[in-house]
Amino acid sequence: MLSYRHAFHAGNHADVLKHIVVVQLAAYLARKEKPLTYIDTHAGAGTYALDSALATKLAEHRTGIGRLWQRDDFPPLVSDYLRLVGRLNSDGRLRAYPGSPLLAAWTTRSHDALRLFELHSRDVLHLRENMLAFGQRVRVAGSDGLAAIKALLPPPSRRALVFIDPAYEDKADYERVIRTLHEALQRFPGGTYALWYPQLTRREAHALPQRLKRLPATDWLHVGLRVRTPSADGFGMHGSGLFVINPPWTLAAQLQEAMPHLVEALALDAGAGFTLECSTAAPPGA
pLDDT in tens, 142-195: 999 999 999 999 999 999 999 999 999 889 999 999 999 999 999 999 999 999
How far is the CA of 149 from the CAs of 41, 182, 187, 207, in angstroms? 8, 11, 10, 24
Q: Domain 6-278 falls in which CATH fold? A: Rossmann fold (3.40.50)
The confidence score (pLDDT) of residue 284 equals: 44
Q: Order the strands of the 220-226 sheet from edge to edge.
A: 138-141, 113-117, 37-40, 160-164, 192-199, 239-245, 220-226, 273-278
Per residue in 96-120, pLDDT (tens digit) is 999 999 999 999 999 999 999 999 9
pLDDT confidence tier of residue 233, bands split at 50, 70 and 90: confident
Query: Please, are residues 257 and 75 in contact by the beta-carbon 8 Å criterion?
Result: yes
pLDDT over threshold 70, residue 1 = no
Nearest CA-CA partner of 193 in 84, 41, 79: 41
State if pTM tops 0.85. yes
Q: Which residues pair with 164 in a beta bridge?
A: 195
Helices 13-29, 251-266: axis angle to 10 degrees equals 160
pLDDT of res. 272: 98
Average pLDDT, the chain: 93
Where is pLDDT greater, at 255 or 201?
255
- 165 catalytic residue (yes or no): yes
pLDDT tier for residue 280 given thresholds of 50, 70 and 90: confident
In percent, how much of the chain has pLDDT > 70?
97
* 250-253: long-range pairs with CB below 8 Å, 24+: 250/28, 251/21, 251/24, 251/25, 251/28, 251/221, 252/221, 252/276, 252/278, 252/283, 252/284, 253/283, 253/284
Angle among Cα 278, 241, 208 to the nearest 5 degrees reads 85
Q: Tell me which amino acid residue 243 is.
A: F
Selecting among 40, 165, 170, 173, the annotated active-site residue is: 165
Per domain, the residue ranges of the chain are 6-278
Confidence of residue 2 (pLDDT cuts 50, 70, 90): low
The whole-number average pLDDT for the span 48-63 is 88
**How much is the pLDDT for 159?**
98
